[in-house]
Copies of this chain bind each other. A is one copy, B any other.
Amino acid sequence: MTLDYSERMGSIKASEIRELLKLTQKPEIISFAGGLPAPELFPVEIVKEMSAEVLDEMGTQALQYGPTEGFDPLREKIAKRMKKFGVDTEAKNILITSGSQQGLDFTGKIFLDKDDVVLCESPSYLGALNAFKAYQPKFIEVPTDNDGMNMDELEKILESTDNIKVIYVIPDFQNPSGRTWSVERRKRIIELANKHNLPIVEDNPYGELRFEGEMPPSIKSFDTEGRVIFLGTFSKTFCPGFRLGWTCAEYEVLNKYILIKQGADLQASTLSQMILDRFLTKYDLDEHIEKIKAVYVKRRDLMLKTMEEEFPKEVSFTRPEGGLFTWVTLPEHINARDLATKAIEKKVAFVPGGSFFPNGGNENTFRLNYSNMDEERIVIGVTRLAESIKEMI
């Protein structure tokens, strides 16, 4: 028996990362593949305490249906936290989602008809590309450099292309490249979006994990017309197993996301929202983030140092000021998928870069995560990886 599926299913494949993650669950594998936070930093005891308090004090409410928009006290706290990103907003502009991933899926649903165009950075986040693909768009990749998306190239594309519906960007410690946009480009993209009346989806899962320098204002902070949709998450600053993220947008736009959330899954978990809300009331999330950063900065430093020492000099890589990833470029004749096969024999895993380019190519790139492995395993893993690369050069 073969059923008749929708046309969109022809273009939807398993995420290479999710499939890899299954392989890498074996403890002997040194995995730089996922975007997993360091679990030893999760506030397990505090979550336990908050969970008990919520259930003691408001147990029946915590287990009942709640509003689609989310638990109001949590929405208020998130609205206030948006100040960190330079955004002055209110609870009514916040929708609680099942991770920021859900905000990506909703973005596709809300803006994309078949054959519409999504502009994205080249490379871009694989999970976003997969979410959008369900709505059958075309992707145009805008070239990037160390300061983010190239604005002159963006302008050219905007002026020469019909049916562009969304500009999707990750301006802080981009996934997969680890790069951060300059302030000037953040201002410039707003001007261009205003001129062409386009929404910008600003995905910011990592911005709060800055190890050095000042956090630049978000693109949304320069938005005077309400066209930036900001996606945030607690997956990297609190814990991913809660599946809590948010969408922040002008009410007129956010209301579309709320309507879609109703049909998609009614609401986020009431209990999870209340536990997180209580954590934010009784503890200082920023203090917790400092603890995370203190660990990650050492891991990044050690990974970069080992790469510098061990990788052949034909191999280049980015030097992220925060976040979870560095991005490696091999000599053009080396295919990172072949390298991945070699590396997995040495029990080291990473994600080949090709899948971060929606239109293919760039098979000589790959992404390394440094947040999830301890320092010893980082040194061993990068050294083994260097051996595999040398064998291929």
Contacts and interface: CB of A to CB of B under 8 A. Distances in A.
B22 A39 contact: no
Given A51-B55, A65-B240, 11 more contacts: A3-B197, A5-B110, A6-B135, A12-B263, A14-B262, A39-B63, A44-B62, A48-B59, A63-B240, A127-B262, A242-B271
Most B-side CB within 10 Å, residue of A8, A14, A98, A256: A98
A269 B241 contact: yes
A264 interface: yes
Contacts of A37: 64
A98 to B, nearest CB: 4
Tell me the interface secondary structure of chain A in the complex: helix
A67 to B, nearest CB: 7
Contacts of A191: none
B105 A134 contact: no
A269 B243 contact: yes
Given A36-B65, A63-B39, A197-B4, A242 B263 contact: no
A110 B268 CA distance: 22
A219 to B, nearest CB: 16
A199 interface: yes
A239 B111 contact: no
B1 A226 contact: yes
A47 B55 contact: yes
Nearest to A131: B263
A130 B9 contact: no
Contact size class for A? 35 or more
A210 interface: no
Given A14-B259, A36-B64, A242-B271, A4 B42 contact: no
A288 interface: no
Contacts of A42: 59-60, 63-64
Contacts of A55: 44-45, 47-48, 51
A205 to B, nearest CB: 12
A318 interface: no
Most B-side CB within 10 Å, residue of A1, A131, A134: A1
A13 B255 CA distance: 10
A70 to B, nearest CB: 12
Nearest to A372: B64
Interface in A108-165: 109-113, 116, 127, 130-131, 133-135, 165
